[in-house]
Structure 1
Amino acid sequence: MKRNKIMITGLVILLLIMLSTACAGKNTGSDNSGTASGDSAETSASASDNKQRVVKSTNGDIRIPTEPKRVIGLSVVYPEFLYALGVTPVAVQNYHQDFPSYLEEGLKDALKTGIAETPNFEAILSAKPDLIIAPVWWSEKDYEQLSKIAPTVLLPQRDHWREELLDIAEVLDKKEQAEQVIEDLHQQEADAKAKLDTLVGNETVMYMMIMADQLIIYGENIDRGSFIHKVLGLSPVKEFPQNEKSISISLEKIPDYNPDHIILQLDDESNEKVQNRYKEMLDSSLWKNMTAVKKNQIYMMNGKEWFNLGMSPLADSSAINDVLDAFEKKGNE
């Protein structure tokens, strides 16, 4: 009987040791190998990456990643909206080979796909986007192919860039950032307008573009002219037709518009015809006898830098700095 008790006690102890070893082995294996915790982390990360939400587009509700990492904005201005909201696009459609200075550093790694009427689908695919955003007027015809590459949100055509910016911000859940961008630019505009009023006062300013086959003057009823005359408050020449957005003039007609100051741009600095027309104008006695020329109040602006003027907060902000710098330097000469 005593012997049986000893045997039973021994068996119980042995079973307890085996259970303890098994439990310890299970815990140790998980901690040392990291397999269990690693799998759990990967699963969690994967679940996070796969999280989606529904946004509105002109094509109805679209399911997109909650936190898209590789975004493309189509058209030459959408990349600027994205960058203004703190999102660096992985690919862009570009008109010029080089970016304007205010985008040069930020978009240096972005893939350039050109600006052909039919997008470079192969290049867009190679950028591996997880979200494509585009204006309906630009990309509706390509929606089917774009949506095969990544979720594609088409946004409505708007009358002002502020509305476009807010539309994109709604998609990216960045409404506060968009409102801050708008507020900051509004303050910059107000400050610049006050400084220019001190520098220029009521003296007239003409905004002129030299193109290959014509000279263009912009009025206050078009984005570019509105920026100069309404946003910055620079007085237009009285002779400009009030119902026109812009007018084309010949060299012989220049004396009819005789401002105190001229903001001048070349449509394409590398174009030989543009350069020839510019030289012809500079050599003309009609040009040399203009008030602004005699007073040395001509302000050259880079065409590439102002390409999206009036259509983007970044372009407008950069142009404000350009105008202020130009007029302040002349005032200090």
Structure 2
Amino acid sequence: MYSKTKWIWTFSLLVSLVMILGACSDSSNKGSSNAGGGKTNQPQAQNGESDNSGSVTEPALAAPVTIKHLKGELTLESVPKKIVVLDVQYADQMLALGFQPAGSVIAETDNGLPPYLGDKMGNIPLLGTYIEPNLEGIIAIEPDLIIATEFHDDIYEDLLKIAPTITLERNEDWRTVLLKFGQILNKPQEAQALVDGYKQKISDLKAALADKMKGQTVALIRPRDEMIRLQTTSHRTSQILYDDLGLTPPKMAVNSKDSSMMISLEVIPELAADHLFLLQDETNLELTTEFQNTSIWKSMSAVKENQVYEENTAQWIGYYGPIAINLIVDQIAEALN
């Protein structure tokens, strides 16, 4: 009913429409003398737009916007042309709105840029990891704005010496963050359209799965450290399953305080999940295979019913921008339909 191809096509169409709307808006405003009439350039562009007098104008916001963040507030008079992001999820946010960061840290989970982004990041400078950003590399870019998280509190003052810095909560809901990027990049309507598109997408999938999944439980697990990590109802990705799509968690996974818990292989049958999303990557492939070869694993109903779905760890728990989140929903749809 809702194949992976269909979902990806739907999201791609939405992004294309957003970019077309933005392009039309830029074209219609070009040369305008009011505050909102400046053309919004890509952040990596080095020059503003020339007016009829030959002077160069900076990309303008419809009005100065004030962004609230963990360290207070920052007022922007124009669209930053060179934005450095210290978490890859923010690169996803920018790309979804048709912009490219001027520099980004890499994802430790992939030891590089996320594969799902393909070549969308181009050849931008890579600036270490989000845990250890390369300050010299950031200085070399001469950014107009830095987007950081609370993980960078110890270098916050150093970042401020380089450029204005916005600090966001790393686990903040991606939709809230996207709307903030809409303000920063002068794309508020486009950001809202993406949020609304996701809302409609999960609403459709939720309706499609309602009858089939009635009375069925779904769990998200990740073998590691000789144990199995169960992602609870508090986990960001689990919330897609349980909050957004209305799927039912096993009782063991219900936890309002801790986003995960470790259980042993011997305990996992007590989870009694009808469907298992199994997160895998190079770091746990050997352990996962070891577990899968045991009689305990083979005795689980989800295994017997062929209702275990292997997904990429980094894709599911490493990235929280709209592009990544929509791909996760596509994979859920493909698995459960």
Structure 2-normalised TM-score? 0.73
Does the 8 Å CA contact 1:292/1:298 hold for their aligned counterparts?
yes
Matched residue of 1:134: which SS?
strand
Please state how far the C-alpha of 1:66 moved relative to its aligned partner: 1.6
Q: 1:115 aligns with which of 122, 129, 134?
A: 129
Please state how far the C-alpha of 1:319 moved relative to its aligned partner: 0.1
Does the 8 Å CA contact 2:277/2:311 hold for their aligned counterparts?
yes
The residue that corresponds to 1:162 in the other structure is: 175
1:212 paired with 2:212, answer no
Does the 8 Å CA contact 2:67/2:180 hold for their aligned counterparts?
no
The residue that corresponds to 1:34 in the other structure is: none
Does the 8 Å CA contact 2:84/2:146 hold for their aligned counterparts?
yes
Q: Which whole-Å deviations, capped at 9, do the CAs of 1:216-241 have from their partners, x for residues lacking one?
A: 11222221222112212222223445
Aligned-partner Cα distance in 1 for 2:198–2:263 = 33
What does residue range 154-303 of structure 1 map to in structure 2 within 5 Å?
154-155=167-168, 159-243=172-256, 245-266=259-280, 269-271=281-283, 274-303=284-313
Q: Which amino acid aligns with 1:275?
A: L
Q: Which whole-Å deviations, capped at 9, do the CAs of 1:219-268 have from their partners, x for residues lacking one?
A: 222212221122122222234455554321111112112222111012xx
Please state how far the C-alpha of 1:282 moved relative to its aligned partner: 0.8
Matched residue of 1:225: which SS?
helix
Aligned-partner Cα distance in 1 for 2:243–2:162 = 42
* Compared CA separation, residues 54 and 256, structure 1 to 2 (3 A): closer
Does the 8 Å CA contact 2:79/2:184 hold for their aligned counterparts?
no
As a proportion of its length, which structure holds more helix? 1
Aligned-partner Cα distance in 1 for 2:151–2:271 = 37
Aligned-partner Cα distance in 1 for 2:73–2:260 = 40
Q: Which amino acid aligns with 1:127?
A: I
Please state how far the C-alpha of 1:305 moved relative to its aligned partner: 1.4
Q: Which amino acid aligns with 1:91?
A: G
Aligned-partner Cα distance in 1 for 2:189–2:175 = 13
Gaps of 5+ in 2: 1-49
Does the 8 Å CA contact 2:231/2:259 hold for their aligned counterparts?
yes
Please state how far the C-alpha of 1:195 moved relative to its aligned partner: 2.3
Matched residue of 2:128: which SS?
coil
Higher gyration radius (CA): 1
Aligned-partner Cα distance in 1 for 2:65–2:274 = 55
The residue that corresponds to 1:304 in the other structure is: 314
Structure 1-normalised TM-score? 0.74
Range that drifts further, 203-212 or 62-71: 62-71
Please state how far the C-alpha of 1:157 moved relative to its aligned partner: 7.2
Q: Which amino acid aligns with 2:328?
A: A
Q: Which amino acid aligns with 1:280?
A: E
Q: 2:79 aligns with which of 47, 53, 67?
A: 67
* Compared CA separation, residues 41 and 258, structure 1 to 2 (3 A): same
Does the 8 Å CA contact 1:80/1:314 hold for their aligned counterparts?
yes
The residue that corresponds to 2:34 in the other structure is: none
Matched residue of 1:173: which SS?
coil
* Compared CA separation, residues 152 and 143, structure 1 to 2 (3 A): same
Please state how far the C-alpha of 1:115 moved relative to its aligned partner: 1.4
* Compared CA separation, residues 66 and 276, structure 1 to 2 (3 A): same
Please state how far the C-alpha of 1:62 moved relative to its aligned partner: 4.8
Which is bigger in relative contact order (C-alpha 8 A, separation at least 6)? Answer: 2
Aligned-partner Cα distance in 1 for 2:171–2:236 = 13
* Compared CA separation, residues 104 and 97, structure 1 to 2 (3 A): farther
Aligned-partner Cα distance in 1 for 2:67–2:248 = 42
Aligned-partner Cα distance in 2 for 1:118–1:101 = 21
Please state how far the C-alpha of 1:314 moved relative to its aligned partner: 2.3
Does the 8 Å CA contact 2:148/2:166 hold for their aligned counterparts?
yes
* Compared CA separation, residues 234 and 51, structure 1 to 2 (3 A): closer
Q: Which amino acid aligns with 1:44?
A: S
As a proportion of its length, which structure holds more strand? 2
